[in-house]
Each structure stands twice: as C-alpha cells, then as structure tokens.
Amino acid sequence: MMTMEGVVLKLPCFSQIVNPNSFSNRTPLKFRFNFSKSSVASLSVPAAAPVSLGHATRPDFQILHQNVYNGSKLVYLDNAATSQKPSAVIDTVNNYYKSYNSNVHRGIHFLSARATDEYEMARRKVASFVNASESSEIVFTRNATEAINLVAYSWGTSNLKAGDEIVVTIAEHHSAIVPWQILSEKTGAVLKFVSLTEDEVPDAKMLQDLLSTKTKLVVVHHVSNVLASVLPIKDIAQWAHDVGARILVDACQSVPHMVVDVQNLGVDFLVASSHKMCGPTGVGFLYGKSELLAAMPPFLGGGEMISDVFLDHSTYADPPSRFEAGTPAIGEAIGLGSAIDYLSQIGMQKIHDYEVELANYLYENLHTIPGVRIYGPTPSQTVHRAALCSFNVEGLHPTDIATFLDQQHGVAIRSGHHCAQPLHRYLGINASARASLYFYNTKEDVDDFIRALLDTIAFFTSFK
C-alpha cells in the first residue's frame, strides 16, 4: 500500500447515497481509503461542468431575480424590445446624479468639467466600440429613430430630388420606413422595396438588381427584429457605393449582440439605441463618416449647436455639436458608456457565440411544437439566426398567448406587429408572438418558456 497525500476526492452529497431517515442516531461515519499503485493510475475525477455565460452574468441583473404573478419566477424573453441593465450601469447613472450632476460644455466649475469629461469619454467609448475612425463621427441622439430622422432631414433634404431612388427592404422597422416616406413626399424621391426570398430573408440579389445610377440611398437593417435574419452589410455597402449611393444601416439588433466594425463594413451611416445594449433609455447614437457629417446642415436649432449667433444669421459648430442642440441626455450617455464597458469586459465575440447556441436551442425546441409557425430562415451550418423567434400558433391570437404566458407562468414575451406592419402584411398575418434572448438568458429560460407555451396551448385548445 502507498499513502496518498494531496489528493482530494469530490464525493456525492451524502444524502444522495443513503436515506438519512434510516439512521436512528447521528454517529459520525468514518471513511478510510487505501490505494494500490495500480488503482492510482486509473483514478479519474470528473471535471465540473462549465458555467454558461447566462448563469455567470445573471447575478449582475437584480431585476431578473424576482417573482411576478402568482409567485411565478420571472423569465424575461423580450430583449429585442429592450434589455435589462446591470448593476454597474445603474450605479454609474446614480453616481452621476449624486456626485457631479451638471450641464456639459458650458461651465468652467468642477462639476461641469467632470460631467463634460465623462460625457465626452462616453462618446469615445462608443466610437471605439463600433471602430469609428474618430469620436467626432458619433452623434448622440434620443434614440435610433431620431438618428434616422436626423439623416433624413439633414442629409436627405440636401441631397435628394425628384426621381432619385431610395432602396429599402419590406422587413424594416417603421423608423427606417416612415422618415423616408415623409421625405419622398417633400422631394419627389421614389422608394423601391426589396421583398423576401422563399427562405423568408430579404432578397439580397433583388436588392442588388434594384440598384442603379438613380439610387441615392440604401436603407437596411443588419439583423431583423422579426425574422432573425442577418444581412451581408459589407457586400450591400459595396454594391451601393458602386453606383454612387450611400448606405444607412439600422444596427439596433446587431450592435448589442455581435462585433460591429463600421470601417470594415464600409457603411456611411449607422444607428443604434442604448436601451437595447444594457444602457439607459433616452439615448442612442448616429455614426456618420466625417466628410458626410461636415457637409450636412443642422437638424435642430438652438444652444450648443452654434458657433456665432447674430440678429440676421447664425454660424454653426462642427460635428458632432452641430447635431446636438440643447442640453443632451448627459446621465444617459454616461450610462451608455458604462454599458459598453460592461459588454466589452465580457467580449462581443463571446456574447455572439453564446447567443448562436441559444438561438439554435430556442428554434429547435419551438419548432417541435405542433401548430407553431416560426418566421424567418431555418438555422444551419451556414445560416445563423439571431437569438429570437417570431411565431404564431395555429388557431390562437399572439396576444392571448403572451397574456397567458405572463399571468400564469411569469414568462415575458412580446406580441403585435413589432413596428413592422409591412412585413407582417407580406407574411399574410396581422401580428406575431416573439421570444427574444440576450446573453444573460439560459437554456433553462428556454425550457421554462417551452413548458409554459405547451400549457398555454393546452389551455386554449381545451375550449374547442
């Protein structure tokens, strides 16, 4: 026999081995192990299962740890609408208001100087996050909708005329359709729409064929908030530039979930919202190439965006100040900077890889339920869906599904047209239900959702 020193065996919990109720007293049990040389060589201790990204990050999101209706555990699957905020972001915003609340740029005192430094630091963080060439290419806005309207009213009114064409897909969010409809009414520009392939993905070949010397702007999403499809933005940008057009990308569903590099993609404009990427509501950003922003007139007039004001005229500040009239959302922008710190610490590629796994798990489990129709492409080795599924259940209204899931099971999903009515009409439906995941979700969340959905279907079908 040989003595084993420094070897620790991880044994199962004792209650898993025996029934403790079978003992009439609590006499301590003693174990003695003797190993031969041959047994040492074959000793194998199982490694602990790796902790998923969802399990590792959930402690940072206090809101997820609560019970809602009937004591049900909250299962939050509405992340395409808005994400939850980690404690670090909440603390950052709280600290701004507690410690250095002040207006930016216009004061020389300590509080104003610190607020200005933190606000501009947030701009630099955004620039670095999307790899803009310089921080002045980042304009803070109220949200992505305002960012698109900024481009429409500033760049659009200066560059579009009657007969010019704007190419848009039918899968766009309303905020990427309505501003161009308004602009086309004013300028006489024409909207050209790209439909879907048989796989329910915006038809990139059709988009390419629509481009001509008449095309002045291409407006596309990066990731669809309904179909979960991902467009080849780099290719589309090149096609647009080949005919002398500009491209604007709605990146609200991509910037929070994957590495987005504006220089590599070659886009002219890109918009995103803070609240979908763990940041506060009330702030978003526009990325614009510096030469384009420099040539664009102001969007709003007022303080901060001026150089000099005279009674008969005014001159304007350089970008980005030119497009940030009035007091900005200071605390919210600083909070966005904190959210970027948080996401960057995890790593966007790590987030993306984990979400691809979650996306497949969600699709595969939802697809097995009879009567469920999922919209968008089928995942494969070459087709990656975003971590969301818009779906309908035969014979049930999506709002009934969402209501029952919420009130009976604590599962939060979304129902409606998801600000994409043209797409829903194209699909022949009025509305859909949507479950959408983020990196703090887990496969257990998906399991809870599937069980709750099965119960929901059983409940409603019991009346037929």
Instruction: Summarize pLDDT for 235-260 with one digit per residue, the tens.
Output: 999 999 999 999 999 999 999 999 99
13 in catalytic set: no
In the prediction, which pLDDT does 50 show? Answer: 84
| pLDDT > 50? residue 24 | no
Of 378 and 19, the one with more pLDDT: 378
DSSP state string for 119-132: HHHHHHHHHHHHT-
DSSP strands (E only) in 46-155: 75-76, 138-141
- Which residues, listed in sequence order, are joined to residue 192 by a DSSP beta bridge? 167
Strand order across the 372-374 sheet = 372-374, 388-393, 432-436, 414-416
Sign of the Cα pseudo-torsion (327, 330, 350, 224, in order): negative
Selected catalytic residue, list 252, 278, 389, 419: 419
- Which residues, listed in sequence order, are joined to residue 412 by a DSSP beta bridge? 76
Q: H or E segment at 446?
A: helix 443-461
Picking from 461, 365, 405, the residue whose alpha carbon sits closest to that of residue 74 is 405
Contact 317, 305 (CB under 8 A): yes
- Which residues, listed in sequence order, are joined to residue 196 by a DSSP beta bridge? 202
pTM of the complete model: 0.89
- Which residues, listed in sequence order, are joined to residue 141 by a DSSP beta bridge? 284
Q: H or E segment at 84?
A: none
Distance of CA 404 to the CA centre of its chain: 26
Tokens 């990656």 correspond to 384
pLDDT band per the 50, 70, 90 thresholds, residue 353: very high
pLDDT band per the 50, 70, 90 thresholds, residue 48: low
Picking from 248, 251, 254, the residue whose alpha carbon sits closest to that of residue 268 is 248
Tokens standing for 165?
Answer: 């064409």
Residues 120-177: tens digit of each pLDDT? 999 999 999 999 999 999 999 999 999 999 999 999 999 999 999 999 999 999 999 9
Tokens 């129902």 correspond to 415
N residues, the chain: 464
For residues 442 and 75, what is the distance between their CA atoms, to the nearest angstrom?
10
141: three-class secondary structure by DSSP: strand
- Packing angle, helices 110-130 and 330-346, rounded to 10: 40
| pLDDT > 60? residue 38 | no
- Which residues, listed in sequence order, are joined to residue 287 by a DSSP beta bridge? 138, 270
Mean per-residue pLDDT for 170-196?
98
Radius of gyration of the chain (CA): 27
For residues 238 and 407, what is the distance between their CA atoms, to the nearest angstrom?
48
Mean per-residue pLDDT for 402-418?
98
Domains in the chain: ranges and CATH: 53-77+347-462 (3.90.1150.10), 87-345 (3.40.640.10)
